Structure 1
Amino acid sequence: MQNIKPQPANLAPRSPEFPWPDNKKTALFVGFDVDAESVWIGMDPKNTERLVTMSYGGYEARVGVPKLLEVLARHEVKATFFITGWTVEAHPAMCEDILAGGHEVAHHGYLHLRPEPGNIDVMAEEVDRGLEALKRVLGIVPKGYRAPGGESYTEFLELLADRGFQYSSSWRDDIRPYRHVLPRGAGPIEIPVNYSFDDWNFGMTHRSGSRALFGREDVLGIWKDEFEQTRDWGGVTTMVMHPQVSGRPMRIRILDQFLTHVRSYEDVWFATGAEIADHFERHEAAQNNSTQR
């Protein structure tokens, strides 16, 4: 049996307590993973020849993202779209529409490859190609990163820090933001994900991985309950949606009705990932200044 040292996987201290802006009680972070066809290529490069499989991802640019942008505009919500570099190159007009709507564009790899211990050279190329595509096509340098497949490891967090990322939104171990602690010092801010808001779990079924679809009332009930308890605790509700799932006709109603429900509360701060990270850094700087006096 391996001698595995008994210590927490995350060495960061508990998330700091600080107020949300304008005396708000909680925050809602609406985030989309814009994979398009890259998620299917990342799973199996042979899928490039399986055109019906690829069409699951192609739905994003043709229908999913345009319809989601309409819903967000109607609710006056600015979201964060984590986009793969491949998607930026394949669907530049879709990505330009996201920016034109005033939304944040963040990094989601290049070909939706999952970070795994031991593949740091592969992931360095994956991150750098994504950065280059976002800069060349959209003219932006992203502040945030979300890991394809929602995985990470220490060496990869150090890579993100070296590339200047302000924040990550991949981990699942808190309801408030915190800063990663790396062997060499401070790492990126983490805006933790609430796994209950990952729509892939409820609404994606396909020929090679079929499973039951969850109906609207089931998902809406889960989302409302998770949000309301997170609100009571003063946390941030971080959503992980995919336009090829939540951009489908019935599923877009779930988001529409959920945002209507959240808007019924007057104490919710609707924020992008960059806005939350900036707010965290202001609090952090104020705390550091007070302890140095």
Structure 2
Amino acid sequence: MSSEGFGLPKESWRWPETAWRGHVDAVRAGRRLVPDRWTGGARVAVALSFDSDHETIPLRDGETSPGRLAQGEYGARAGAPRILRLLERYGVPATFFMPAVSALLHPEEARAYTRDGHELAVHGWIHERNMLLDREEERELTARALDTLTTVTGQRPVGIRTPSWDFSDSTLDIMLELGFAYDSSLMADDEPYEIVAGGRSTGLVEIPVDWIRDDAPYFTMDRYGSVRPHSRPRGVGEIWRDEFDAAYHDGGVFQLTLHPHVIGHRSRLVVLRELLDHIASHQDVWFATHAQLADAARSMLPGSGPDRP
């Protein structure tokens, strides 16, 4: 909601302190949730994720040309199978955040994720822009997405990543109401943390993302816009290796966000393979799904135990 919706002037420099503090404190990073050692005594946790958006990006924007839809279909037809084979080769689990419409278009793919031991998590209904929705619309779409993934796979997701990593004024309340265990949409830290709302603990674990560790800013293409691929794949791989090396040094988390229709091309998947080779050359590495990572992080919360959600 805009500031004007609260009866405030449009110009932020005219706001009283209570206004700007209220906006800042609405959703905030709380306690950093990093144990001395990760599961199995590992020094670093590695959490790979894939946003299986496929055709939902053009569909969300009402673009129905076969050309635009085919770009998304590539992720399901070519990208995802290659990714699954690569993960199997390295014995690495991953988390797939999938819009419900993608799961309905490609149910066997969704089931393949869970069948192969990966995690399937919520990523909206049709990759909607939740900043444009009122609370009831956002809640209905999120709940429908959660129910759809449960029906398709027989497993109820415990995590969520909002479409485009957007948070509306209602998003956090909806996550808590629907019982999610973790979110992976915010960027306040390199390491997992507890989300605090209005200065109060929520118990919701955040596994933060960042555009640096996302393939889309480097490789996406819009023929009629200004977005153009501007990075050599191996140049991007060097950035990701540096991110991992720093996480290994700090004893923290290396989290990566990829898209089957982006990273799944042959020349780009080479970079992921080389990155996995680099990571595998290190001792004490724990590859985890986002749900497993959230469970390990939650153990650092006061009062954590079997009764805590």
TM-score past 0.5 threshold: yes
- Of residues 260, 263, 267, the one that matches 2:277 is 260
Change (3 A) 1:212 1:53: same
Is 2:250 the partner of 1:233?
Answer: yes
Change (3 A) 1:31 1:21: same
- CA contact 1:82–1:107 (8 Å) conserved in 2: yes
State the distance in 1 between where 2:28 and 2:187 align.
14
- Of residues 182, 185, 195, the one that matches 2:211 is 195
SS at match of 2:30: coil
- Superposed CA deviations along residues 214-249 of structure 1, whole A, max 9, x for unmatched, are 112211111111111122122211111000001111
* Corresponding residue for residue 216 of structure 1: 233
State the distance in 1 between where 2:97 and 2:201 align.
26
- AA in 1 matched with 2:268: R
Taking only aligned residues, the RMSD between alpha carbons, in angstroms, comes to: 2.0
State the distance in 2 between where 1:270 and 1:89 align.
29
- Of residues 155, 159, 183, the one that matches 1:144 is 159
* Corresponding residue for residue 46 of structure 2: 28
State the distance in 1 between where 2:282 and 2:193 align.
25
In structure 1, the gaps of 5 or more residues are none
State the distance in 2 between where 1:234 and 1:213 align.
32
My pick for the range that moved more, 210-219 or 235-244, is 210-219
- CA contact 2:50–2:95 (8 Å) conserved in 1: yes
SS at match of 2:93: coil
Is 2:68 the partner of 1:73?
Answer: no
Instruction: Using the TM superposition, give the Cα deviation of residue 185 of structure 1 relative to its aligned residue in structure 2, in angstroms.
Output: 4.7
- CA contact 1:175–1:192 (8 Å) conserved in 2: yes
The number of equivalent residue pairs is 286
Change (3 A) 1:76 1:128: same
Is 2:56 the partner of 1:41?
Answer: no
* Corresponding residue for residue 155 of structure 1: 170
Instruction: Using the TM superposition, give the Cα deviation of residue 150 of structure 1 relative to its aligned residue in structure 2, in angstroms.
Output: 0.9
* Corresponding residue for residue 168 of structure 1: 183
- CA contact 1:180–1:188 (8 Å) conserved in 2: yes
SS at match of 1:13: strand
Change (3 A) 1:27 1:224: same
State the distance in 2 between where 1:287 and 1:274 align.
16
1:274-293 paired onto structure 2 within 5 Å: 274-284=291-301
- Of residues 106, 125, 131, the one that matches 1:116 is 131
Instruction: Using the TM superposition, give the Cα deviation of residue 288 of structure 1 relative to its aligned residue in structure 2, in angstroms.
Output: 8.5
- AA in 2 matched with 1:92: P
* Corresponding residue for residue 69 of structure 2: 54
* Corresponding residue for residue 148 of structure 2: 133
Identity percentage of aligned residues: 32
Change (3 A) 1:136 1:13: closer
1:67-106 paired onto structure 2 within 5 Å: 67-106=82-121
- AA in 2 matched with 1:26: V
Instruction: Using the TM superposition, give the Cα deviation of residue 100 of structure 1 relative to its aligned residue in structure 2, in angstroms.
Output: 1.8
- Superposed CA deviations along residues 187-230 of structure 1, whole A, max 9, x for unmatched, are 52101113212100111113233413411221111111111112
State the distance in 2 between where 1:219 and 1:181 align.
33
Change (3 A) 1:286 1:232: farther
Taking structure 2 as the reference length, the TM-score comes to 0.87
Instruction: Using the TM superposition, give the Cα deviation of residue 181 of structure 1 relative to its aligned residue in structure 2, in angstroms.
Output: 1.6
My pick for the range that moved more, 237-246 or 202-211, is 202-211
- CA contact 1:158–1:182 (8 Å) conserved in 2: no
Taking structure 1 as the reference length, the TM-score comes to 0.91
- CA contact 2:161–2:184 (8 Å) conserved in 1: yes
State the distance in 1 between where 2:73 and 2:202 align.
39
Instruction: Using the TM superposition, give the Cα deviation of residue 182 of structure 1 relative to its aligned residue in structure 2, in angstroms.
Output: 2.3
- CA contact 1:114–1:150 (8 Å) conserved in 2: no
